[in-house]
Structure 1
Amino acid sequence: MLRDYVRRLLQLAAGIAVSSLGIVLMLQANVGLEPWSVLQQGLTLVLPISYGLATVIAGAAAIGLAVLLGESFGVGTIVNIIGCGVCIDAMLALDWVPQLHSLPGGIAMLLAGLELLALGTWMYMRSALGAGPRDALMVALARKTGRSAGVCRICADILVTVSGFLLGGQFGIGTVISALGLGSLINLNFSLLHFRPAKVHQENIAETLRYPRS
């Protein structure tokens, strides 16, 4: 039991790391931010906060809305909200990924980042320790509407993009590609990996506390 739980925690951590790297690649692609990054950058422009802290705030808002729609949250949700913010700030500070200044290279890097984000999403959702905030919202919308997770992600991303743009976030061709492409990549990856997120029970906080590991 304990070994299985540790395996799931490692899977969660790996998924967060992969997702964070994907977001950093999209930021450094410099062809327009992906939807949630538009919002998060917009928050840094109106509030004296770092990009990582803006990620935490946006994540908390997303999980709050998901809870209102009937989703619960777990250890993985909390780790995701905090962990992504810390990982993104650390990767940007270390300057491992150079910022690109050519459109073809930027689009290529953006697409690589989108794929890493989709793959990382599968990794930590598969741990079933609680979906990430944006994914919990995606699943909540999928359950409520009966639509695919990818379609719900696209709709949410469009609304988030508009909100971020109104706050002053950077909008470009990469934003359009991300808003339409991430949901499609999530659908493709989940289909290839035979993963149906709406069918997976994500362990919530109460269940984690109720069943001690031994």
Structure 2
Amino acid sequence: MLSRIAIYLVGLAINALGIALTIFSAAGVGSWDAAAIGMNNYFGLTIGTWTVAIQVLIVLMTKVVERKRFQYGSMLAIILRSIFLDLWIFLLFDRMEIPSSFLIQWLVFLFGTLAIGVGIGIYIEAKFPKSPVDGLMLALHNRFDWSINVSRIVVELTGTLLGFILSGPVGLGTLIIALFVGKIIQTVNSKVKMVLNQERMTVFKERPSEQNI
């Protein structure tokens, strides 16, 4: 249990760092963030309000795909990641200026995109509540037997299309996240599974010898 908690928290912390880096780079926003900003432009209210509304909608979509009850636990991941995001921004980025160099700006963005995928690839293996977007990705993966990469692309492109229709800030950075973060998640998650399976096998092999002593 402790190892699962550690995997969960470390993954969420890395994911939040990636989000903070992409925000700091000012090179682009995630697809569902673009959709929330577009909703704000069209219908008013606040971006935060629309972000919550979209997250609830995604949970409902996941419920339909999985044919299960409403996943209230998914809000836990949002709360924890928000805490980590605030900590990263306060500790690292609060007193730093946005990169003026185009090259540095995009290097920060790409590193942030990598961290987003790495964090998700780690924390979803803890088998604790996922954020709504990650939960929908896994629901599509399990229901239709799509790869994690394809499932993530479908989820991200849906948000990108919605953001584009609503005149949200969809740009090159948004498309990069939509098209490539799924591959990062899939690669990292397969490595994490491999490491955890090896550890389980090692523990299983050691138990008989411990019993014989």
TM-score (norm 2): 0.75
Compared CA separation, residues 122 and 185, structure 1 to 2 (3 A): closer
SS in 1 for 2:167: coil
2:77 corresponds to 1:80: yes
SS in 1 for 2:127: coil
Partner letter of residue 162 of structure 2?
S
Query: Aligned to 1:37, which of 33, 38, 41?
Result: 33
Compared CA separation, residues 40 and 113, structure 1 to 2 (3 A): farther
TM-fit CA distance, 1:121: 0.9
1:121-136 counterparts in 2 under 5 A? 121-136=120-135
TM-fit CA distance, 1:44: 4.4
Query: Aligned to 2:45, which of 45, 48, 58?
Result: 48
Q: Does the CA contact (< 8 Å) of 1:74 and 1:131 recur in 2?
A: no
Q: Does the CA contact (< 8 Å) of 2:121 and 2:184 recur in 1?
A: no
| Counterpart position of 1:146 | 145
Partner letter of residue 106 of structure 2?
I
Q: Does the CA contact (< 8 Å) of 1:62 and 1:137 recur in 2?
A: yes
**How well do the aligned residues superpose, as a CA RMSD in angstroms?**
2.6
1:41-120 counterparts in 2 under 5 A? 41-45=37-41, 46-49=43-46, 51=48, 54-70=50-66, 73=71, 75=73, 77-88=74-85, 91-92=88-89, 95-96=93-94, 98-120=97-119
Percent sequence identity over aligned pairs: 24
TM-fit CA distance, 1:86: 4.5
d(CA) in 1 for partners of 2:81 and 2:166?
A: 22
For these two proteins, the number of residue pairs brought into alignment is: 189
Q: Does the CA contact (< 8 Å) of 1:60 and 1:81 recur in 2?
A: no
- Whose helix fraction is larger, Structure 1's or Structure 2's? 2
Partner letter of residue 99 of structure 2?
L
TM-score (norm 1): 0.74
Q: Does the CA contact (< 8 Å) of 1:141 and 1:152 recur in 2?
A: yes
Partner letter of residue 188 of structure 2?
N
Q: Does the CA contact (< 8 Å) of 2:122 and 2:189 recur in 1?
A: no
d(CA) in 2 for partners of 1:90 and 1:38?
A: 23
Partner letter of residue 49 of structure 1?
T
| Counterpart position of 1:11 | 7
| Counterpart position of 1:188 | 187
d(CA) in 2 for partners of 1:162 and 1:111?
A: 22
d(CA) in 2 for partners of 1:132 and 1:152?
A: 15
TM-fit CA distance, 1:154: 0.7
Compared CA separation, residues 86 and 49, structure 1 to 2 (3 A): farther
